[in-house]
Chain A
């Protein structure tokens, strides 16, 4: 079976195959290896990988159906390959971006220089749902706000890599990067060794080092925990995985109490003080005294202990202001403001609906644009114009008119594709890339990140909650 002979990249940028059907330089070993497999072998390997994922219980939960419905992580064994040159640009671009965003968050909760200099409109910040007045005047330990970021990158048909959005609250998916790699090592080990793929498994150590860096220096043996909403959360697997890999506690809100101004865990032998929490609960739910009073997931008094320096939190509450999808449009200006440099990774062109001209354009061109709500994630609250019905577009137009501040729009990007197993053949499917960045003593970018793939033919939505899957990402 000539596996790639019938493969057609069409008019899209393909990450593995160039237009004439031959492999890109870094992909040759892999493509040759797949070509040399006996008929049906690739499908068998795919099945074996899926069986492995099922056995290992690598799952995520989907909301909106029966509570806590567990789904096996959809995974395609053909990896996506990123060349060393591309990676160099991505890595330096992300370091620059995250550094600037951290400066930005510190600034807007404190001196507000960037607002006074009118680089970012003040009302935009003050009307953001993710702005936290509770953080005003506060500087977190070591001045770091966004300890862990997952920034979504896409490649357009012009071959250029763009930043699609920033995720600074509780970005998830990194555990799948590590597990995908485990599965691929077993599936394609020969190619894997010969290709000198950069390892990804340093992530838990880097994360732990960062968390330890946040502890005041006099504490010798800190207690560190991952704070999870519990097993019904969509990313529960990841919370459990990371705490296991770091060898730290996995705690729920019900395991913690604030006593004497400090946060403690309830153990079989009484209370035990906690020094750092990698929290995976959103701001809204983390402390019913400060944020949503109806939250059962959080811990009463947690924010008080945090603000008094008795506890470090990663990510800091309030970071969400920088991943408001409208503020995203200002990030190139933010980078310029704090670093004096131009952004290494460009933004996708963005129309801001609160701006009259932009809004008029958006309403007129809904059939060509992707519209996103400022604070939704996971593929919810968005309109993919070209794929929507006239009725859906009309509904969305009303929403935009009613609440222009809350929407932005971008041209539909024809996301690059990667060959993907579909039944017994290989077809191109659209992908994005989410690298993970840890901001501790220095900024670390995990080589690769999560390649998410839109499994339905022609689909551009890669979120796992919307039927997306994933691939291993090989940085050469």
Chain B
């Protein structure tokens, strides 16, 4: 393209104009939530997989194995209003295909796709096309039948689609501010959901305290690991499956990508990059302060303290703190309109 006289006059270095980008708050918010939604959809698929694995491993067990899944979402009331029983078919339908339910897989994907659609100019076409297809296939009329007739395969596919999305994001999108916000959303959601996967076991176990340390108990713990795709990696670190080891691994392991500590650390790195802060320097805003403190706590707490405190209570506390980080990121980066109107601004 020939340079116009106007361009030549303007640009001392020839024919390129560098646009110094600043990111729209709305866009940052949208991409952050896009990734949270996808990660959430994947994790709902994981919860269902935990349960499917558990049921396979204890075919003789009687009792209600589908209710805990709804319990960990905290949405029993929503469920009970619309569904008569906690059976497999209804719980799967609720968690996967119920568009009225905000945390159903299909609702999360619809929201992720709507978000992606409004920032298509920011993400890569590969990401958009994949997410668009992912959603379209899930909304196909045949999907519910597939989910019920071959649930293991169905929910595995959902997990894989989500991984593919993450891979595309890493490989086809510049690792700039938008990508860092996307990663923070994904990591916070994942940390939260790992804590909830651990809680599935807690809810399963609660009515049956006498089963602790029985073979059945070990089977259940290994099902939990499988659901976090963690069994092999766990085996390399610990050889024996005990509740203590599993919890230690899923909460504190430094290197395992779904452990809470790992997720929080990665989110923190991305947040520092956005602000241009040194990783060990003082926090520049409330979000950095909260997330940094959370990471430090995860570094300096150990599993014995958690067990002393009570695992469920500990996990519950972590979930609250993660929510608080989420809110603070919102007020720090996404809702700056108030600040603008009161004349507080940076250039």
Contacts and interface: CB of A to CB of B under 8 A. Distances in A.
A55 B22 contact: no
A231 B117 contact: yes
B340 A259 contact: yes
Interface size grouping (class) on chain B: 35 or more
Interface stretch (B1-9, B41-49, B62-70, B300-308): B1-9
B129 interface: yes
Given A212-B6, A212-B7, A441-B6, A268 B22 contact: yes
Given A57-B128, A212-B7, A220-B11, A267 B22 contact: yes
Contacts of B336: 266-268, 270
A249 B337 CA distance: 18
A271 B341 CA distance: 11
Contacts of A213: 4, 6
A213 B118 CA distance: 28
A241 B334 CA distance: 24
Interface in B300-347: 333-334, 336-337, 339-341, 345-347
B19 A269 contact: no
A440 B7 CA distance: 13
Interface string A205-228: 100010011000100110100000
B120 interface: yes
B296 interface: no
A243 B122 CA distance: 9
| From A223, A244, A269, residue with most partner B Cβ within 10 Å | A269
Contact of A255 (B24, B132, B177): B24
A268 B23 contact: yes
A152 interface: no
Interface string B9-48: 1110000011110111110100000000000000000000
Contact of A243 (B20, B117, B121, B128): B121
A249 B24 CA distance: 8
Contacts of A249: 24
A308 to B, nearest CB: 20
Interface residues of A, number: 40
A231 B116 CA distance: 11
A221 B10 CA distance: 9
B19 A221 contact: yes
A230 interface: yes
B129 A55 contact: yes
B136 interface: yes
Contact of B121 (A209, A231, A244, A266): A244
Contacts of B181: 268
A89 B17 CA distance: 36
Interface string A235-253: 0100011011001111110
28 contacts: A54-B136, A55-B132, A57-B120, A57-B129, A57-B132, A209-B1, A212-B7, A217-B10, A221-B17, A223-B19, A230-B118, A240-B118, A244-B120, A248-B19, A250-B119, A250-B121, A254-B26, A254-B337, A257-B340, A266-B26, A267-B22, A267-B23, A267-B336, A269-B23, A269-B346, A270-B346, A271-B346, A441-B4
Interface of B: 1, 4, 6-7, 9-11, 17-20, 22-26, 28, 114, 117-121, 125, 128-129, 132-133, 136, 177, 181, 274, 333-334, 336-337, 339-341, 345-347
Q: What 9 A-B pairs come out closest when comparing CB atoms?
A: A270-B346, A244-B121, A267-B22, A268-B333, A272-B22, A57-B132, A243-B121, A240-B120, A270-B345
Given A220-B10, A267-B336, A271-B345, 13 more contacts: A55-B129, A55-B132, A213-B4, A217-B6, A221-B18, A223-B19, A252-B26, A268-B274, A268-B333, A268-B334, A270-B336, A270-B346, A271-B346
